[in-house]
Chains A and B, each alone.
Chain A
Amino acid sequence: MKETPLSNCERRFLLRAIEEKKRLDGRQTYDYRNIRISFGTDYGCCIVELGKTRVLGQVSCELVSPKLNRATEGILFFNLELSQMAAPAFEPGRQSDLLVKLNRLLERCLRNSKCIDTESLCVVAGEKVWQIRVDLHLLNHDGNIIDAASIAAIVALCHFRRPDVSVQGDEVTLYTPEERDPVPLSIHHMPICVSFAFFQQGTYLLVDPNEREERVMDGLLVIAMNKHREICTIQSSGGIMLLKDQVLRCSKIAGVKVAEITELILKALENDQKVRKEGGKFGFAESIANQRITAFKMEKAPIDTSDVEEKAEEIIAEAEPPSEVVSTPVLWTPGTAQIGEGVENSWGDLEDSEKEDDEGGGDQAIILDSIKMDTGVEVSDIGSQDAPIILSDSEEEEMIILEPDKNPKKIRTQTTSAKQEKAPSKKPVKRRKKKRAAN
């Protein structure tokens, strides 16, 4: 499909807004959009979201013979693909210019900067080396593909684990992940690209341009830097004339941004590592939320609660503690008893499960016990007849056991409590809160 043309009024509006230092989404000139990094279940798979731009990165490895002129070095292979779902203008044969430009920039940023130690990828010199392949897919295009792609590439490489190999003389043993834990790649530093868009012949500049802003920009400057403030790659496109101090200023801004992004990446990697070690759930199903068409969805906006008038804590502190009501149980009919104050039983005769023992009084205890023995059988029958009464789907049952002196103790039981219900016990009051269908 052809790209939607940019109308004159949009172009005029955007340029005027930039002159007044206003951006469409309310960001400041040097602000990045929200970056979200989520990992998949496999090592080396991640999705990076820069605002609405999404890139999926996947790293894989293979044992191959090395290049002839580099016999002791591993091979790196980078590939960025613009998927057709990213924008209507992306078609299989169409976006060649943009694609070539992005791929070249990515290669220069990651390969020429020597961020990965290729010597460590060598297994047997001249015969077997590791070939590491990084595949990046653009899932949604909302501007600034190169930044998102470089973050996805470096995060995927840091997250990846290759199988362990040991060499003894002539023997090479490749261990499966079950035999020995996979080993991370040796990464020296993390180069990250930062894009600057220029407008009105270099007068105005914006960091992290949106898709709309990219359409009206005059030129783009991309600086790839790591957190040690080393510039790995710098590229200026669009043919604008930039002054020396403009480029220096941009590199300073890039230094600050790269430091922030690197911190974010390290935190995300650490979190994922922790979750995996503790045995928690990880993967895309956990980190990417479900979207339903029948529900309202809105990103959480930070709310300033400093000028709240009333707080719940004050109200709770001022309120009186609830009164303790302990009274003797009242037996209404065989099988139905009531203790304490409560609303009238609206179930009527159907309710057979609410039966309580007596706290004190031997006579009453014996009567109730015998009734309980009788109704113990009834209840199970009725329980099976009234099968569909399900109060909750939880597998746990909350049992409140009231001891005469102490406070009610809550005990959770996993499976059916049929045994406990039938066993005649002198234990004072047992009240089953939730009924199970299958008794």
Chain B
Amino acid sequence: MAEPASVAAESLAGSRARAARTVLGQVVLPGEELLLPEQEDAEGPGGAVERPLSLNAGARSRVRVVCGPGLRRCGDRLLVTKCGRLRHKEPGSGSGGGVYWVDSQQKRYVPVKGDHVIGIVTAKSGDIFKVDVGGSEPASLSYLSFEGATKRNRPNVQVGDLIYGQFVVANKDMEPEMVCIDSCGRANGMGVIGQDGLLFKVTLGLIRKLLAPDCEIIQEVGKLYPLEIVFGMNGRIWVKAKTIQQTLILANILEACEHMTSDQRKQIFSRLAES
């Protein structure tokens, strides 16, 4: 389906911007420019289109398009910054042109505000903990950002513990900050993760796939054994089952899910369910 060779040739040859619509699902390379639907009509066949003069020439109807990961606005067009497949999602309701983004393979995490991640506490200094989240800098977590924590009542967090929290500050100019509490003051599942269980790392794309609504993999896994599982958007997964053997099986299945078709997966699950 993807033809990277022809794509590269085309973009090198003319460096003509292509309509985003025509490139959906194909591999795009960094540096390519994409035209949004409204602009295609304007650019038209070579640009030599005769339009009747209108008094309100500037008020063209603009469609609000959200620019997702891997894309950047460049004037009126979208500029591709990561290589991968171009995707689009129609808006559910209301106006707007939907979301465009690039599905790319990546293992290295870059902190994003609002993401829920699993971090490892590396240092305790005064009032804050330093938490490693897999990015370029450790994030800082204040001891007051836990549910029910006060100056007298400090949370029980040691160096080396696992923390599930979300970012409140995450940009390229500042050190990231995370909290284990939501805007209402409730923990909502965040905080220190329990003592046992296994932590392992997968690619970011697999995490997004597993966290998509109606993911079959998670439902099937849930039918196998009772388990506890935490997904961090930084590629880390924490898994706990009753015995060590079961935990290891689950970890291996989730890691292998990335490269299996759904048939192969079903086979493996049925074999496991029998034994």
- Name A residues whose Cβ lies closer than 8 Å to a Cβ of B: 1-2, 4-13, 16-17, 20, 22, 24-26, 293-294, 296-298
Contacts and interface: CB of A to CB of B under 8 A. Distances in A.
Contacts of A26: 248, 252
A10 B161 CA distance: 10
Interface of B: 1-2, 27, 83-85, 105, 120, 122, 132, 134, 136, 158, 160-162, 193-199, 238, 244-245, 247-248, 251-252, 256, 259-261, 264
5 contacts: A2-B132, A4-B132, A7-B160, A10-B199, A13-B196
Contacts of B199: 7, 9-10
A10 B1 CA distance: 41
Nearest to B83: A293
B197 to A, nearest CB: 6
Nearest to A16: B244
A25 B198 CA distance: 13
B245 A22 contact: yes
Contacts of A9: 161-162, 193-199, 238
Where chain A touches its partner, the secondary structure class is: loop
A251 B247 CA distance: 33
A13 B196 CA distance: 7
B2 A5 contact: no
A312 to B, nearest CB: 19
Contact of B27 (A5, A294, A296, A297): A294
Nearest to A292: B2
Given A7-B162, A8-B160, 10 more contacts: A4-B132, A6-B160, A8-B195, A9-B196, A9-B197, A11-B160, A17-B244, A17-B248, A20-B245, A298-B256
A5 B259 contact: no
A4 B261 contact: no
A294 B5 CA distance: 13
Contacts of B158: 8
A22 B248 contact: yes
A297 B256 CA distance: 10
Contact of B264 (A8, A17, A293, A298): A298
Given A8-B160, A13-B244, A20-B244, A297 B252 contact: no
Contacts of A297: 259
B27 A13 contact: no
B244 A5 contact: no
Contacts of B198: 9-10, 13
Contacts of B2: 294
B161 A12 contact: no
B132 A5 contact: yes
Contact of B259 (A11, A22, A296): A296
Contacts of B264: 298
A296 B84 contact: no
A10 B198 CA distance: 6
Contacts of A12: 195-196
A13 B247 contact: yes
Contacts of A17: 244, 248
Given A4-B120, A16-B244, A17-B248, A293 B134 contact: no
Contacts of B252: 25-26
A26 B244 CA distance: 12
Contacts of A2: 132
